[in-house]
């Protein structure tokens, strides 16, 4: 009888403890569907915030030429690869020497992002200057060439000089850093231009960019249309091509390996058949956002209701 009472007492205690520590399932957000207007000529760069489900800002892709890393400890300079720009580093000449472009070796921007190197890269401890092929305007006409040199750089600003290759139209500018931004954007025609939103306010940018191929069957570089991430501010992505979109949930996160490459989403979610684009609807991207939230996203179209391309449509859900 005594043993029975002890067993009954323990059973009641453990039953109460179990009831008093309920496990609440993780609640996912609602599935949202959004379409982005890049223009049927892919002329726009569109910055998007997943948590708010809104376009934060947009601009013509031709509005800027180069951009300067904006953090106090950052010294990277990047090209506007959406115009198919390229750059040549000059180490054995003076800035005022006339330049013959046919003698130059060219580099394109690394689509992976500055964590993996870039065409210009970190400017500290360099004495070289650069010639930029400014790519193409919206009519497909080459924008010509500009050379520039960094006269001074520190934790607060960059000071640069730039001109045409024959030294005409020489000008200078001071580009002040801003810790609220990833990069400060610069136009050789209009100086500092407002492009990227504050770094904590966007996750993805829909844009054209230059992709680099390591396949001899393809040209070394090619202009593609896709999605880049706010990788400088810790947005990360992974791709799942086997699990159904509906079945991916929060519990999947711990088994996934995320990438900080800015082109991890890129352009491969669509295919060109020779006459039209089709969508890989089995491609689901899991994204760690700038606010450390997790979303799953898949593309469902690239055309608007008028049949015009350049309007990526996607559904996404917070995990």
pLDDT digits (tens, 9 = 90+) for 105-126: 999 999 999 999 989 988 877 8
Spatial CB neighbours of 74, under 8 Å, sequence gap ≥ 6: 177
Which band of pLDDT confidence, cut at 50, 70 and 90, is reported for residue 219?
confident
Instruction: Evaluate whether residue 17 is within a structural domain.
Output: no
pLDDT at residue 1 greater than cutoff 50: no
Q: What is the chain's mean pLDDT, rounded? A: 91
Provide the percentage of residues in the chain whose pLDDT is more than 70: 91
Q: Is 59:80 a contact under the CB 8 Å cutoff?
A: no
Query: What pLDDT was estimated at residue 10?
Result: 41
Residues 75 and 55 in one domain: no
Domain edge (last residue) among 146, 164, 193: 193
Residues 104 and 174 in one domain: yes
Number of domains in the chain: 2
Dihedral sign from CA coordinates of 186, 187, 192, 193: negative
Q: Are strands 44-49 and 204-212 parallel, antiparallel or unpaired?
A: antiparallel
Task: For residues 133 and 79, give the distance between their C-alpha atoms in angstroms, rounded to a whole number.
Answer: 10
Instruction: Evaluate whether residue 11 is within a structural domain.
Output: no
Residue carrying the six token digits 């990833």: 182
Query: What pLDDT was estimated at residue 24?
Result: 58
Domain edge (last residue) among 143, 161, 193: 193
pLDDT at residue 274 greater than cutoff 60: yes
Provide the percentage of residues in the chain whose pLDDT is more than 90: 82
Task: For residues 200 and 291, give the distance between their C-alpha atoms in angstroms, rounded to a whole number.
Answer: 7
Query: What pLDDT was estimated at residue 162?
Result: 98
HEC letters along the chain: CHHHHHHHHHHHHHHHHHHHCCCCCCCCCCCEEEECCCCCCCCEEEEEECCCCEEEEEEEHHHCCEEEECCCCCCEEEECHHHCCEEEEECCCCCCCCCCHHHCCCECCCCCCHHHCCCCEECCCCCCEEEEECCECCCCCECCEEEEEEEEECCCEEEEEEECCCCCCCEEEEEECCCCCCEEEEECCCEEECCCCCHHHCCEEEEEEEEECCCCCCCCEEEEEEEEECHHHCCEEEEECCCCHHHCCHHHHHHCCCECCCCCCECCCEEECCCCEEECCCCEEEEECCCCCEEEEEEEEEECCCCCEEEEEEEEEEC
pLDDT digits (tens, 9 = 90+) for 294-306: 999 999 999 999 9
The average pLDDT across 251-278 equals 95
Query: What pLDDT was estimated at residue 214?
Result: 76
Residues 167 and 250 in one domain: no
Residues 182 and 263 in one domain: no
How are strands ordered across the β-sheet holding 32-35?
A: 32-35, 309-318, 294-303, 284-288, 236-240
Residues 304 and 224 in one domain: yes
Instruction: Evaluate whether residue 26 is within a structural domain.
Output: no
Residues 259 and 170 in one domain: no
The average pLDDT across 206-235 equals 90
Residues 161 and 236 in one domain: no
Is this model's pTM higher than 0.85 or not?
yes
Residues 175 and 97 in one domain: yes
Query: What pLDDT was estimated at residue 21?
Result: 53
CB atoms within 10 A of CB 282: 13
Residues 205 and 312 in one domain: yes
Instruction: Evaluate whether residue 203 is within a structural domain.
Output: yes
Domain edge (last residue) among 193, 208, 228: 193
Residues 186 and 88 in one domain: yes
Instruction: Evaluate whether residue 16 is within a structural domain.
Output: no
Residues 205 and 230 in one domain: yes
Q: Bigger pLDDT: 221 or 24?
A: 221
Instruction: Evaluate whether residue 20 is within a structural domain.
Output: no
pLDDT digits (tens, 9 = 90+) for 120-145: 988 877 889 999 999 999 999 999 99
Instruction: Evaluate whether residue 21 is within a structural domain.
Output: no
Which band of pLDDT confidence, cut at 50, 70 and 90, is reported for residue 216?
low
Supply the range of the domain harboring residue 233: 32-59+199-318
Task: For residues 191 and 189, give the distance between their C-alpha atoms in angstroms, rounded to a whole number.
Answer: 6
Residues 214 and 312 in one domain: yes
pLDDT digits (tens, 9 = 90+) for 7-58: 444 444 344 444 555 555 678 889 999 999 999 999 999 999 999 999 999 9
The average pLDDT across 246-253 equals 93
Instruction: Evaluate whether residue 18 is within a structural domain.
Output: no
Query: What pLDDT was estimated at residue 138?
Result: 95
């Amino acid at each position: 009888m005594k043993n029975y009472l002890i067993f009954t007492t323990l059973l009641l205690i453990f039953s109460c403890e179990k009831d008093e520590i309920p496990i609440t399932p993780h609640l996912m957000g609602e599935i949202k569907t959004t379409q982005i207007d890049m223009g049927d000529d892919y002329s726009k760069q569109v910055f998007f915030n997943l948590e708010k489900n809104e376009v934060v800002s947009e601009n013509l892709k031709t509005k800027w030429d180069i951009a300067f890393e904006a953090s106090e400890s950052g010294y990277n300079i990047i090209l506007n690869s959406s115009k198919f720009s390229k750059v040549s580093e000059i180490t054995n000449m003076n800035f005022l020497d006339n330049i013959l472009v046919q003698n130059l070796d060219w580099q394109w921007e690394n689509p992976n992002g500055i964590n993996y190197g870039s065409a210009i890269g970190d400017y500290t401890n360099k004495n070289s200057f650069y010639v930029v092929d400014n790519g193409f305007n919206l009519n497909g006409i080459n924008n010509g060439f500009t050379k520039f040199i960094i006269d001074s750089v520190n934790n607060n600003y960059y000071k640069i000089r730039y001109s045409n290759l024959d030294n005409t139209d020489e000008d200078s500018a001071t580009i002040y850093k801003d810790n609220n931004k990833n990069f400060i954007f610069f136009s050789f025609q209009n100086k500092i231009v407002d492009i990227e939103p504050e770094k904590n306010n966007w996750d993805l940018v829909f844009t054209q960019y230059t992709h680099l191929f390591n396949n001899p069957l393809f040209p070394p570089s090619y202009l593609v249309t896709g999605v880049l991430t706010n990788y400088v501010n810790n947005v990360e992505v992974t791709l799942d091509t086997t699990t159904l979109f509906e079945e991916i949930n929060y519990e999947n996160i711990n088994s996934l390996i995320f990438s900080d490459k800015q082109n991890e989403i890129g352009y491969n979610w669509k295919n060109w058949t020779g006459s039209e684009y089709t969508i890989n609807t089995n491609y689901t991207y899991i994204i760690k956002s700038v606010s450390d939230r997790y979303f799953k996203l898949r593309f469902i179209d690239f055309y608007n209701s008028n049949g015009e391309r350049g309007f990526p449509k996607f559904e996404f859900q917070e995990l």
